[in-house]
């Protein structure tokens, strides 16, 4: 039966090639489309989460919602060493973050102030690679690094001074004058517009919070599952602390991703409808071409179920072949654009930047996408084969042989 199905495939090469090509291109288009969509988000999440905010953060309960220094943690009471020893944790990074009005003689802007220890930070804030002008501040110094976008807005350069005015811990005034030691390009566009980085101790001093931290970022080992690490860390949390994973830190990001994915899904669904009709067309053509032969086979004693099986087998071989070729051919494209993203320009770039997204299109190389879309197209192949099954099951040999 397999031999019969295989030979039937090649009796009408044109039809078989149309089926294979349609399946292949559908898989390629769907995978490319989805890879770009997932790739852009993957890159963004990686940038925001892995490089800047971490997959897990520990705060005083309520801090993330209120962003108030009043909800800071006393470092001396935190079991930082115990947290750092948990499997999958590379280190626990200390931060003090708050807001401040940052001024020059000409202008001012509300900014996010981050007190950090660059050498212990996540990759996006280690600053060595991010500095585009000047240098990283020295620990405990009265120097700051300003993000590129904020420096442009305030029209400051290395060596200039910035005035900070804010509210410190327990209502104390927080102010200071610091020199710009460097300007950094922060990969996340939103942060790049408003971030000021200063030594942790300097931030603690300015905000009148010596020994206080607002955030302990859990830096994970490569490949560690943040949910598993969270499960291990939870018993080590005191009642006054909260351990949040990135999905809880950025629920709006998750919603945006889901909305965007749903939009893409509509486009892919339309693509699947088109391919379904193309494949159905080839099956209708095949059934019409071979109606007489089907009648003969049933006449000489072939059960309809067996005949339907051979016919479905033929169609499955074709769609499976097309799906496999498509899945394989699209792989180099995925790899290429992951490492060579498309730089958007013009109005498109401006539109994307308005949403604080990096104007670059990356792909993901996740094979799950290829498998999913290959499987969906294969299922479509199975479903359209049901037309042939239906025709065979209601076939009348005498009428079919007259066809």
Of residues 3 and 222, the one with the C-beta less far from another protein: 3
Asked whether position 15 contacts another protein by CB under 8 A, the answer is: no
Q: How far, in Å, CA of 334 to CA of 27, rounded?
A: 13
Q: What CA–CA distances, in Å, run from 250 to 26, 223, 338?
A: 34, 21, 24
List the alpha helices (DSSP H) in 46-79. Answer: 63-66
160, 293, 353, 356: which one binds another protein (CB under 8 A): 293
Binding test (CB under 8 A) with another protein, winner from 222, 235, 301, 346: 301
Site string for another protein, 240-279 (x = CB under 8 A): ----------------------------------------
Using rule CB under 8 A, residue 298 touches another protein: yes
The residues facing 199 across adjacent strands are 116
Give yes or no for residue 285 binding another protein (CB under 8 A).
no
Kindly provide the residue ranges of all beta strands, DSSP E only, lying in 21-172, ordered along the sequence.
56-60, 73-74, 89-103, 108-116, 131-134, 143-147, 161-167
Q: Is 297 one of the binding residues for another protein (CB under 8 A)?
A: yes
Question: Quick check: 8 binds another protein (CB under 8 A)?
Answer: yes
3-state secondary structure (DSSP) of residue 205: helix
Q: Which tokens belong to 173?
A: 């005034």
CA-derived radius of gyration, the chain: 30
- Region binding another protein by CB under 8 A among candidate stretches 34-42, 207-215, 295-303, 328-336: 295-303
Tokens of 296: 């003969």
The interface region with another protein, picked from 198-206, 253-261, 271-279, 292-300 by CB under 8 A, is 292-300
Q: How many residues does the chain have?
A: 403
Choice between 155 and 303, CB closer to another protein: 303
- Could you say which of 158, 296, 320, 352 contacts another protein (CB under 8 A)? 296
Take residue 251 and report the two structure tokens written for it.
């629920």
* Interacting residues with another protein between 303 and 342 (CB under 8 A): 303-304, 306
Candidates 4-12, 49-57, 161-169, 175-183; binding stretch for another protein (CB under 8 A): 4-12
What Å distances lie between residue 202 and 139, 144, 171, 273, 333, CA to CA?
A: 8, 9, 18, 61, 48
User: Of 77, 162, 147, which is closest to residue 114 (Cα–Cα)?
Assistant: 147
Contact between 170 and another protein by CB under 8 A: the answer reads: no
Residues forming the site for another protein (CB under 8 A) = 4, 7-8, 10-11, 292-293, 296-304, 306, 397-398, 401
């Amino acid at each position: 039966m397999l031999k019969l199905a295989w030979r039937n495939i090649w009796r009408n090469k044109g039809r078989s090639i149309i089926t294979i090509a349609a399946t292949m291109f559908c898989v390629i288009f769907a995978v490319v489309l989805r890879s770009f969509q997932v790739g852009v988000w993957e890159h963004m999440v990686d940038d925001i989460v892995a490089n800047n905010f971490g997959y897990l953060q520990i705060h005083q309960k309520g801090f993330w919602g209120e962003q108030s220094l009043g909800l800071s943690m006393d470092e001396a009471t935190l079991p930082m060493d115990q947290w750092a020893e948990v499997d999958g944790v590379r280190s626990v990074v200390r931060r003090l973050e708050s807001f401040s009005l940052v001024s020059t003689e000409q202008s001012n802007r509300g900014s996010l102030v981050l007190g950090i220890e660059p050498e212990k930070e996540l990759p996006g804030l280690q600053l060595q690679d991010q500095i585009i002008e000047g240098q990283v501040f020295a620990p405990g110094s009265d120097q700051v690094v300003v993000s590129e976008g904020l420096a442009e807005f305030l029209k400051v350069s290395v060596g200039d001074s910035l005035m900070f005015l804010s509210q410190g811990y327990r209502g104390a005034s927080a102010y200071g004058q610091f020199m710009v030691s460097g300007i950094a390009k922060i990969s996340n566009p939103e942060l790049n517009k408003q971030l000021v980085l200063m030594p942790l101790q300097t931030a603690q001093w300015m905000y009148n919070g010596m020994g206080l931290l607002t955030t302990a970022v859990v830096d994970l080992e490569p490949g560690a599952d943040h949910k598993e690490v969270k499960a291990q860390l939870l018993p080590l949390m005191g009642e006054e602390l909260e351990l949040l994973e990135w999905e809880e830190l950025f629920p709006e990001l998750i919603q945006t991703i889901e909305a965007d994915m749903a939009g893409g899904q509509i486009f892919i669904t339309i693509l699947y409808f088109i391919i379904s009709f193309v494949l159905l067309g080839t099956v209708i053509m095949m059934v019409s071409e071979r109606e007489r032969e089907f009648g003969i086979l049933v006449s000489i004693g072939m059960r309809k179920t067996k005949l339907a099986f051979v016919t479905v087998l033929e169609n499955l071989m074709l769609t499976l072949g097309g799906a496999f070729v498509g899945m394989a051919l699209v792989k180099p494209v995925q790899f290429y654009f992951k490492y060579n993203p498309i730089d958007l320009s013009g109005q498109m770039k401006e539109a994307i930047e308005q949403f604080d997204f990096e104007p670059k299109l990356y792909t993901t190389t996740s094979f799950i996408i290829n498998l999913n879309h290959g499987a969906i197209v294969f299922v479509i192949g199975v479903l359209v084969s049901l037309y042939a099954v239906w025709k065979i099951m209601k076939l009348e040999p005498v009428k079919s042989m007259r066809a």
